[in-house]
Structure 1
Amino acid sequence: MLIVAGLPIVSTNTPLPDLSDDVCARLREAFRRTGYDADGVVDALGGAAHTALGRGEPEPARRASLDAGDLGVFIRLFLLGLAEPEKAVSSAFAPLTADDAVAAGILRAVGDEFRAALDIRPHGDDDGSWWVVSDLDADMLGHVVPEDHVLGVGHASLSLIRATSRRPVGTLLDLGTGNGVQALHATRHAQRVTATDVSARALALAAGTFRLNELEVELLRGEWFAPVARRRFDQVVCNPPFVVGPPRVDYTYRDSGLAGDDASALVVRQLPSFLNDGGTGQLLASWLHRNGEDWGDRVSRWLPPETDAWFVQRDVADPGLYVGTWLRDEGIDPRSPEGRAKAAAWLDWFTENDVQGIGFGFVTLRRANGQTPTVVCEDLRQAYDDPLGPEAANWLDRVEWLRTHGDNVLDVAFRVPDTVLLERVDSPGDEGWETTVRRLHRTDGPGWQHEVDELTTRLLAGCRGALPLSDLLDLLSAAQGLDSAELTAAALPIVRELVRHGMLVPGSPQ
Structure 2
Amino acid sequence: MTTPDPDPDFDPALLVELCRPLRAAFERTAFTTDAVAAMLGDDAHAALGRGEPVPVRLACSGELGTLIRLFLLADDVLAEDASAALAPVSLTNALAAGLLAGDPTPSGTVRTLLDVRPVDLGGGNRWILADLDGALRPHLSTRDHVLGVGHASVSLLRAIPATPVGTVLDLGTGSGVQALRAVDHSEHVTGTDVNPRAAALARATMVLNGVADGDVDLLTGSWFEPVAGRTFDLVVANPPFVVGEGRVHNTYRDSGLDLDGASAMVISRTPDFLAPGGTAVLLASWLHRRDEDWRHRVASWLPDHGVDAWVVQRDVAEPALYVGTWLRDSGEDPRDPAAAQRALDWLTHLHAADVEGIGFGFVFLRRTDAPTDLLAEDLTHGFDDPLGDEAAAYFERVAWLREHDVLQSRLRLAPATALERVSVPGEYGWDERVVRVHRGDGPRWQHEIDDLGAALLAGMNPGGLALEELIALLAAAHDLDCGELEASAVPLVHALVRHGIALPG
Distance, in Å, in 2 between the alignment partners of 1:109 and 1:13 is 13
Q: Which residue does 1:382 correspond to in 2?
A: 381
Aligned residues of 1:413 and 1:467 also touching (Cα < 8 A): yes
Q: Which residue does 1:226 correspond to in 2?
A: 225
In the superposition, relative to structure 1, how do residues 462 and 135 fare at CA in structure 2: closer, same or farther (>3 Å)?
A: same
Matched, 1:58 2:53: yes
What secondary structure, in the 3-state scheme, does the structure 2 residue paired with 1:187 have? helix
Aligned residues of 1:151 and 1:253 also touching (Cα < 8 A): yes
Q: Which residue does 1:505 correspond to in 2?
A: 503
Q: Which residue does 2:33 correspond to in 1?
A: 38
Aligned residues of 1:16 and 1:204 also touching (Cα < 8 A): no
Aligned residues of 2:79 and 2:103 also touching (Cα < 8 A): no
Distance, in Å, in 1 between the alignment partners of 2:296 and 2:248 is 28
Q: Which residue does 1:402 correspond to in 2?
A: 401
Q: Which residue does 1:348 correspond to in 2?
A: 348
Aligned residues of 1:328 and 1:334 also touching (Cα < 8 A): yes
What secondary structure, in the 3-state scheme, does the structure 2 residue paired with 1:464 have? coil
In the superposition, relative to structure 1, how do residues 13 and 300 fare at CA in structure 2: closer, same or farther (>3 Å)?
A: farther
Q: Which residue does 2:480 correspond to in 1?
A: 482
In the superposition, relative to structure 1, how do residues 82 and 20 fare at CA in structure 2: closer, same or farther (>3 Å)?
A: closer
Distance, in Å, in 2 between the alignment partners of 1:273 and 1:305 is 13
Distance, in Å, in 2 between the alignment partners of 1:354 and 1:461 is 47
What secondary structure, in the 3-state scheme, does the structure 2 residue paired with 1:208 have? helix
What secondary structure, in the 3-state scheme, does the structure 1 residue paired with 2:210 have? coil
Amino acid at match of 1:79: L
Within the candidate set 9, 18, 25, 1:23 is matched to 18
TM score, norm. by length of structure 2: 0.95
Q: Which residue does 2:459 correspond to in 1?
A: 462
Matched, 1:445 2:442: yes
Q: Which residue does 1:4 correspond to in 2?
A: none
Distance, in Å, in 2 between the alignment partners of 1:200 and 1:174 is 15
Q: Which residue does 1:153 correspond to in 2?
A: 149
Provide, for residues 58-106 of structure 1, a one-character-per-residue CA deviation record: whole Å limited to 9, x for no partner: 22222111x3x11111100111111110110110010001111111111
For structure 1, which runs of at least 5 residues remain unmatched after alignment?
Answer: 1-11
Distance, in Å, in 2 between the alignment partners of 1:329 and 1:100 is 32
Matched, 1:275 2:271: no
Distance, in Å, in 2 between the alignment partners of 1:362 and 1:434 is 39
Amino acid at match of 2:45: H
In the superposition, relative to structure 1, how do residues 13 and 211 fare at CA in structure 2: closer, same or farther (>3 Å)?
A: closer
Aligned residues of 1:130 and 1:213 also touching (Cα < 8 A): yes
Amino acid at match of 1:135: D
Count of residue pairs the alignment pairs up: 491
Larger deviation, residues 260-269 vs 299-308: 299-308
Q: CA RMSD in A?
A: 1.4
Provide, for residues 358-412 of structure 1, a one-character-per-residue CA deviation record: whole Å limited to 9, x for no partner: 000000011112x12210110000011100111111111111010011xx21122
Q: Which residue does 1:115 correspond to in 2?
A: 111
Larger deviation, residues 347-356 vs 437-446: 437-446
Provide, for residues 395-449 of structure 1, a one-character-per-residue CA deviation record: whole Å limited to 9, x for no partner: 11111010011xx211221111121111221111233112111112211111111
TM score, norm. by length of structure 1: 0.94
Distance, in Å, in 2 between the alignment partners of 1:142 and 1:60 is 19
Aligned residues of 1:324 and 1:334 also touching (Cα < 8 A): yes
In the superposition, relative to structure 1, how do residues 419 and 356 fare at CA in structure 2: closer, same or farther (>3 Å)?
A: same
Within the candidate set 74, 90, 98, 1:97 is matched to 90
For structure 2, which runs of at least 5 residues remain unmatched after alignment?
Answer: 1-6
Within the candidate set 130, 133, 139, 2:129 is matched to 133
Provide, for residues 25-56 of structure 1, a one-character-per-residue CA deviation record: whole Å limited to 9, x for no partner: 10000000000011111111112221221122
Within the candidate set 429, 432, 442, 1:432 is matched to 429
Amino acid at match of 2:190: T
What secondary structure, in the 3-state scheme, does the structure 2 residue paired with 1:252 have? coil
Distance, in Å, in 1 between the alignment partners of 2:353 and 2:295 is 18
Q: CA deviation at 1:189?
A: 1.1
Distance, in Å, in 2 between the alignment partners of 1:373 and 1:210 is 37
Distance, in Å, in 2 between the alignment partners of 1:110 and 1:351 is 51
Distance, in Å, in 1 between the alignment partners of 2:27 and 2:8 is 33
In the superposition, relative to structure 1, how do residues 321 and 206 fare at CA in structure 2: closer, same or farther (>3 Å)?
A: same
Matched, 1:175 2:141: no
Distance, in Å, in 2 between the alignment partners of 1:304 and 1:131 is 39
What secondary structure, in the 3-state scheme, does the structure 1 residue paired with 2:245 have? coil
Aligned residues of 1:440 and 1:450 also touching (Cα < 8 A): yes
Provide, for residues 301-359 of structure 1, a one-character-per-residue CA deviation record: whole Å limited to 9, x for no partner: 00123211111000000100000001101111111101110000001101111100000
